[in-house]
Amino acid sequence: MSVFNNALAQLKKAIQYTSLKPSTLEFLKRPERQLQFSLPITMDDGAEKVFDGFRVQYTSARGPYKGGLRYHPQTNLDEVKALAFWMGIKCAVVNIPLGGGKGGITIDPKKLSQAELERLTRALARKLAPFIGPEQDILAPDVNTNPMMMAWIADEYSRVVGKKVPGVATGKPLEQGGSAGRTEATGQGGLYVLNELAKKLKLTPKKTRIVVQGFGNVGYNFAKLAYQAGYQIIALSDSKGGIYSKTGINMDPDNVMKDKKARGLIGGCYCIGSVCDCKNFTAVTNKQILELPTDILVLAALENQITTANVGRIKAKVVFEMANGPTTPEADEKLAKRKIIVVPDVLANAGGVTVSYFELVQNIQQYYWTEKEVNEKLKPIMVKAFNDIWNKAGELKVPLRVAAFVLAVDRIGKAIEARGKF
Ligand code: NAD
């Protein structure tokens, strides 16, 4: 199954609720530009190898293309096209003036040394140089790419164009023009959305149980901030399994992180320093954690976690998608039938791209904000995006995901039509 066909199916579903012209739909069904590169590099042992690189610039109707760069053995043009489309949707959901793009290299980065990865990333930046820039297309980290690589890209691009241009990539280290608050941004944005949802559902944090799957950048920061806001964290997990508070005792994610660092895994006991409680807490498998009784199930690990195989056993009242694509389209329909609310990825995790946009703005104006200022600007954007989508879902009587796509497609389509005839 083509991932891009899934994206097109979502587009078609959304467009029926808009008054956009058929020609606008035809335009939106295709990326504006697809780039494919051969990337020859010399390996550390002197061998010469050639890798395949891609960049899809899907829509620039609302602003320059924006999106991450993925290094993965399965990366291909079809996947990159879908991801570029979804980036356009996400930026339109939070109503920031950016379009959608995505790139990647078909590669297992674990098989390359740091020096080889640097040569490859710089080779890609040189090939991309005529097509990217703060006013054209802005790159960012994604699966297996990181702030260091963004610094390489900004540096190589700056050498090619002969001036310092940090705004060609976001998610950079602070010392190279990164933004304060970027590391926590996705979790922070998710918490602002959760707080709004709690108001609608009349949930009080103290009585709201949360299970979090995934304990990386997004899962850990989300869990930490939700705990600090008073929500009850009753289960946490990473790729090796998780911990569940059988009796509903709240867990401080910082204690779990310290224990994970000390022992290399999230164990079955809850330890505060060297004092461990193994009576009220138990180990859970990756399969079990998704099926625990809870108010909110936060998915912050990988795609395709709720499928037709386990959707019938989900007991959460709300599925909160902090990861990208954690629910398959078939499972999504079944959750809707069971009246389980799904807060879609394009809204829940959009705090990340929003602070990337702030990073671009700070780079362009050469004036940097404190973390407090960043969060003060992030909050109203997330709150408005949630309420726009909630109201649209109520008006059309559709799930939040459909409402998010309707709003986003309508915004992108109207921007296309506002330019006049093709
Ligand atoms: P990460 O690599 O830092 O963390 C991933 C976590 O998931 C790790 O703790 C890993 O152990 C865990 N994991 C892997 N398989 C698991 C399994 N089967 N069960 C439980 N846990 C498992 O990645 P991240 O940056 O936190 O990204 C997580 C998701 O959020 C991805 O889908 C990513 O695309 C999405 N996302 C990230 C950002 C961001 O700013 N980092 C922004 C938007 C969306």
Show the domains of the chain with their CATH numbers.
3-9+17-174 (3.40.50.10860), 185-348 (3.40.50.720)
Contact present, 52 and 72 (Cβ < 8 Å): no
Which atom, in ligand 1's list, is nearest to the CA of 322? 30
Q: What is the pLDDT of residue 422?
A: 87
What is the Å distance from ligand 1's center to 213 Cα?
Answer: 9
Instruction: Tell me the pTM.
Output: 0.96
Which atom, in ligand 1's list, is nearest to the CA of 303? 32
Ligand 1 mutation target, pool 69, 170, 172, 238, most atoms within 8 A of CB: 238
What is the Å distance from ligand 1's center to 218 Cα?
Answer: 6
Q: Which of 216, 133, 211 is nearest to 169 (CA)?
A: 133
Q: What is the pLDDT of residue 274?
A: 87
Distances (CA, A) of 390 to 132, 195, 330, 356, 418: 35, 13, 22, 24, 26
What is the Å distance from ligand 1's center to 278 Cα?
Answer: 27
What the block records as the tokens of 247 is 């009796």
Q: What is the pLDDT of residue 283?
A: 96
pLDDT in single tens digits along all 422 residues of the chain: 788 998 998 999 999 999 999 999 999 999 999 999 999 999 999 999 999 999 999 999 999 999 999 999 999 999 999 999 999 999 999 999 999 999 999 999 999 999 999 999 999 999 999 999 999 999 999 989 999 999 999 999 999 999 999 999 999 999 999 999 999 999 999 999 999 999 999 999 999 999 999 999 999 999 999 999 999 999 999 999 999 999 999 999 999 999 999 989 998 899 998 899 999 999 999 999 999 999 999 999 988 999 999 999 999 999 999 999 999 999 999 999 999 999 999 999 999 999 999 999 999 999 999 999 999 999 999 999 999 999 999 999 999 999 999 999 999 999 999 999 88
Distances (CA, A) of 325 to 6, 152, 225, 314, 395: 11, 29, 23, 17, 25
Nearest CA to ligand 1 atom 43: 349
Is-catalytic flag, 102?
yes
Alpha-carbon gap, residue 243 to 251, rounded angstroms: 10
The residue from 66, 102, 224, 392 that is catalytic is 102
Alpha-carbon gap, residue 328 to 305, rounded angstroms: 8
